[in-house]
Structure 1
Amino acid sequence: MNAPQLAVRETPVAGLLLVDLPVHGDNRGWFKENWQRRAMTELGLPDFGPVQNNVSFNAAAGTTRGIHAEPWDKFVSVVAGRAFGAWVDLREGEGFGRLFTAELDPGTAVFVPRGVGNAFQTLEDNTVYSYLVNEHWSPAAKYTLLNLADETVSVPWPVPLERAEISDKDRGHPRLSQVLPVPPRRTLVLGADGQLGRALRAVYDGGTAVEFAARDSFDLASPDAFDSRDWRDYEAVINAAAFTAVDDAETAEGRRSAWAINAAAVVRLARTAVEHRLTVVHVSSDYVFDGLAGPHADAGPWAPLGVYGQSKAAGEAAVGVVPRHYLVRSSWVVGEGKNFVRTMASLAERGVKPSVVNDQTGRLTFAEDLAAGIRHLLDSKAPYGSYNLSNSGPAQSWADIAADVFELCGRPRSDVTGVSSAEYFQDKQAAPRPLDSTLDLAGIEATGFFPPPAALRLREYLSRLGG
């Protein structure tokens, strides 16, 4: 047999790929590499993680198996004989009902993505084909079915259906007009009741492919929460949940809570993501750094000073084992909820003249831009890895930002008195804080996302508070 080069070819059905397999033959027969992960993924086949191999033997030519869209991806190849394959896009979207056909022999395989209906008709007796799938079969699996004789799709079967071998079950499947399209896998947002969670609700603006889970519906620290989900229905998880009480983390009870939520629960999330091939977006903090050498690069190194930072660094390490992950590190988050800017605006309104730390520097991160950056990474399919994400502009101290707030609220900047961290926290139970929390934004900007200046967002935020 002639052995073509291994190649992966696109088809008119999005994500449906034909694969040319080199077949090496001599007087003894032939040999082929049916599945070669490294070479095939390098050529564009998804690294879909097969977990089960099935084989179908078909005794007679004309044996026809119905159009089934399954809740997993599959890789189909012929072991002996020849088969005619028909694939119909049954997913939501403009491609719904689109048909593609091809003949399969030992030198041709096909990758079928979830939601694309596939059917096969044997062209020779004793045809055998095998297929890899990336979910274990379950009786609870939900299939979407289409009638082999549907007039709208009009599959050009080589053996007319009236002469084909077909099961009664396959003959009874619905026409295209009766088929409910397969919805896309959803993105699950954890911590949907926090500042970032509320901003993510706004940035996704009611999109049906995004599901928001507050703590009462998904407790990240509870193993039962993970067991209660059918993860086949999801493609990504955004973890906006965290224990953020920095000072409380230094107490005995707070230490346990910080490690339970910021580390142990993230390990559980990472394990789930690896098992089900999920993309994870995990939000972390400038507190994983010691603040001695800013601006801090995307890749670290970690040097946390306190319990909160240590637990967040442990969570980052766990997420790093997930093949498809975005680790998004922010600083000084401001959103819809209790935060530094709201507190300063309230003090200005009441005529209070505060003392504010002036030796810790960094940039504000407005939750709306953090949420927009997260969506950008997912939508643009940016390279997986770690990204710093704060607003842009010069680094400022907390006292500088407080003075900006007072000025924008119509109060004199001189109402804010700068003090050192040592002075401010004297005789208080407080966690150590990084003195320089400035994050290097080159990585996120290289993906095409440019966070607006913090000063612009501060004016807009205070304008909304005043309105």
Structure 2
Amino acid sequence: MTTFGKALGSTETNIPGLVLWDLPVHGDTRGWFKENWQREKMVAAGLPDFGPVQNNISFNDAIGTTRGIHAEPWDKFVSVASGRIFGAWVDLRRGPSFGEVFTAELDPSVAIFVPRGVGNAYQTLAADTAYVYLVNDHWSPTASYTFLNLADETVAIPWPIPLADVEISPKDLAHPRLADVEPMAPRKTLVVGANGQLGRALRAELGDDDRFEYAGRADFDVTDQDAATARRWRDYDTIINAGAYTAVDTAETAEGRRAAWAANAAGVATLARIASENDLTLVHVSSDYVFDGTSERPYREDDALSPLGVYGQSKAAGDLAAQTAARHYVVRTSWVIGDGKNFVRTMASLAERGIDPKVVGDQTGRLTFTDELARGIRHLLESHAPYGTYNLTGSGDATTWADVARSVFALSGHDADRVTTVTTDEYFAAADGPVAPRPRNSVLSLEKLSGTGFEPRDGGEALRDHLQHHLSGDPS
């Protein structure tokens, strides 16, 4: 019998993410009324804002009708419109809780939130029973489902009415035992721009198991008009955008301007739309170039954007686009060094070849190595840090490019005095082609990042390790 007057509330179960809900039902001799789904109240009470897109109703006219055990690749919120059901849920997701069982009776005053990959089965305990479920993806014949036999001896579900006495479909009778079930894989993380320096560092940090997918531009181009339909996005949980147009000087040309805006702004807007429509987390890597460098203190995440050149302007536009996704991390970094061609490798090569460089000394910042940037991104995701914008660079004292060059010379066993300091204007005075304006102050405040429990490595220490491990051979 339906209980009237319950307060809205939740009860965690032994299956992670499976949550039982009490629903307020208001009734009298005429019947009853309830708010079966009330987003504002339920989200405030702790229900995931899972974004339902489809409403289904299952009606069973006979007591004992039994359906399941089906695990779908979407979340669902199940409640009863009339009658009463016995529900059984089995965790069929890959992980330590695989095979966990939870059972409960549902009437109009009780509902349950079933996360993706948890198998569900229902047995009617009253005639003319109808139960309703909201799901956050449209049914698709190509979706991947996982099934378990209703009579599996391992999970040993205590069915109120023996299975031999109830109506079951032939398909449900034919489902495999638990020992033969292939667990449902978790949603995947897609790394875009996977062939670049940061993309390679992310692969080294995250690994190559099937939770992660790495896409170079040939595999997934954010500027392609079909990008929004290029994947079954509900199979993903996170997109990390490690790709960008970074030719800051070429961006000042007509062709470069178009390419920079396509990749750094329009492409990011596409990713943000994908993330918003499919409830994904978007990680977007940004740049110190979104600021003009005139601040006399380190830049905070909430400082006004003030880009100087086309590259910076396109990156600033990308930041604004990424922030339209409800679940986003905009990660601003500076002076990035990874494997492959970079400033440190170039200076080491010049030192070895006896060339004495002129290096600018009026731009200030901190080095950020791609392995540290990848480690920080992983931390934000795994720690479930509040969504938003975070500065992520190396820590320690601010330095100049000339100081970095001298450190490279010294750490490589060469005379640091061979490096001559010049101004930015002097350095580019004889440039043959367009020159993008550079921010003179690229130091980013790390206080907000530290508040999440992540402390970046000192840039000087990271430089020593980089030279030792990556440039021990031929630095050219």
Give the alignment's TM-score, normalised by structure 1. Answer: 0.98
Q: Percent identity?
A: 63
CA contact 2:227–2:270 (8 Å) conserved in 1: no
Residue matched to 1:452: 457
- The one of 379, 404, 408 equivalent to 1:405 is 408
Counterpart for residue 6 of structure 1:
8
Q: Corresponding residue for 2:54?
A: 52
Contact 1:235–1:279 (CA under 8 A) maintained in structure 2:
yes
Q: Post-superposition shift, 1:225?
A: 4.0
- The reply to whether residue 364 of structure 1 matches residue 367 of structure 2 is yes
Deviation at 1:449, TM superposition (A): 0.5
How far is 1:36 from its partner? 1.6
Is contact 1:390–1:451 with CA below 8 Å preserved after alignment? yes
2:103 corresponds to: 101
Give distance in 1, aligned partners of 2:11 and 2:305: 43
Letter of the 2:190 partner, please give it: L
Equivalence map 1:51-450=2 (5 Å): 51-293=53-295, 294-428=297-431, 429-450=434-455
Aligned 8 A contact 2:301 2:389 in 1:
yes
1:392/1:454 contact within 8 Å kept: yes
Query: Which amino acid in 2 is paired with 1:199?
Result: A
- 8 Å contact 1:57–1:128 — kept in the other structure? yes
* CA contact 1:55–1:129 (8 Å) conserved in 2: yes
1:463 match:
468
Contact kept in structure 2, 1:189 and 1:240, CA below 8 Å: yes
Q: Distance in 2 between matches of 1:36 and 1:376?
A: 33
CA distance in 1, matches of 2:282, 2:193: 14
**SS of 1:466 mapped into structure 2:** coil
Structure 2 gap segments, 5+ residues each: none
Contact kept in structure 2, 1:190 and 1:218, CA below 8 Å: yes
* Distance in structure 2 (CA, Å) of the matches to 1:39 and 1:128: 24
Preserved CA contact (<8 Å) 1:70 1:114: yes
Separation in 2 of the partners of 1:150 and 1:205?
35
SS at structure 2 position matched to 1:218: coil
How far residue 151 of structure 1 moved from its aligned partner, in angstroms, is 1.0
Report the 3-state secondary structure (helix = DSSP H, G, I; strand = E; otherwise coil) of the residue aligned with 1:192: coil
CA separation in 2, counterparts of 1:362 and 1:36?
49
- CA offsets, 1:419-443, max 9 Å, x none? 1111111142210010100000011
Shift of 1:351: 1.2
Determine the C-alpha separation between the residues in 1 that align with 2:280 and 2:466: 34
> 8 Å contact 2:251–2:259 — kept in the other structure?
yes
SS at match of 2:226: helix
Q: Greater CA deviation, 273-282 or 418-427?
A: 418-427
Q: Displacement, 1:45?
A: 1.4
In structure 2, give the amino acid aligned to 1:396.
T
- Provide the C-alpha distance between the structure 2 equivalents of 1:438 and 1:76, rounded to a whole number of angstroms: 51
Aligned residue type for 2:163: L
Hey, what's the Cα distance between the residues in 2 that align with 1:39 and 1:352?
68
Q: 1:234 to 1:167 in 2, by over 3 A?
A: same
**RMSD between aligned residues:** 1.1
Q: Mean alpha-carbon deviation: is it higher for 206-215 or for 10-19?
A: 206-215
Q: Distance in 2 between matches of 1:250 and 1:240?
A: 22
Task: Tell me which amino acid in the other structure corresponds to 1:461.
Answer: H
Q: 2:70 is matched by which residue type in structure 1?
A: H
Q: Is the 8 A contact 1:92 1:184 kept in 2?
A: yes
**CA distance, structure 2, for counterparts of residue 406 and residue 283 of structure 1:** 30
Match of 2:43 in 1: 41
- Read off the aligned partner of 2:281 and give its amino acid letter: T
* CA distance, structure 1, for counterparts of residue 100 and residue 342 of structure 2: 51
Q: In structure 2, give the amino acid aligned to 1:83.
A: I
* Alignment-mate amino acid for residue 23 of structure 1: V
Number of residues paired by the alignment? 467
Task: Tell me the distance in 1 between the aligned counterparts of 2:4 and 2:193.
Answer: 57
Residues 330-369 of structure 1, C-alpha deviations (whole Å, 9 max, x = no match): 0000010111111111111111111111111000101010
Q: Given that residues 248 and 436 in structure 2 are in contact (C-alpha distance below 8 angstroms), is that contact kept between their aligned partners in structure 1?
A: yes
CA distance in 2, matches of 1:289, 1:156: 63
Q: Post-superposition shift, 1:181?
A: 0.5
- For 1:228 and 1:321, the matched residues in 2 are separated by 21
Q: Is the 8 A contact 2:245 2:259 kept in 1?
A: yes
Whether the 8 Å contact between 2:366 and 2:393 is mirrored in structure 1 is yes
SS class of match (2:10)? strand
Q: Unpaired runs of 5+ in structure 1?
A: none
* Native 8 Å contact 1:191 1:239 kept in 2: yes
Scaled by the length of structure 2, the TM-score of the pair is 0.96
Q: Is the 8 A contact 1:61 1:123 kept in 2?
A: yes
Do 1:188 and 1:211's aligned partners in 2 also have CA atoms closer than 8 Å?
yes
For each residue in 1:430-465, what CA deviation from the matched residue of structure 2 results, as whole angstroms up to 9, or x when unmatched?
100101000000111110110010000000111121
User: Which residue is 1:17 aligned to?
Assistant: 19
Residues 238, 280 of structure 1: 8 Å contact kept: yes
In 2, are the aligned partners of 1:8 and 1:40 still within 8 Å (CA)? no
Residues in 2 aligned to 1:337 and 1:202: alpha-carbon distance in whole angstroms = 15
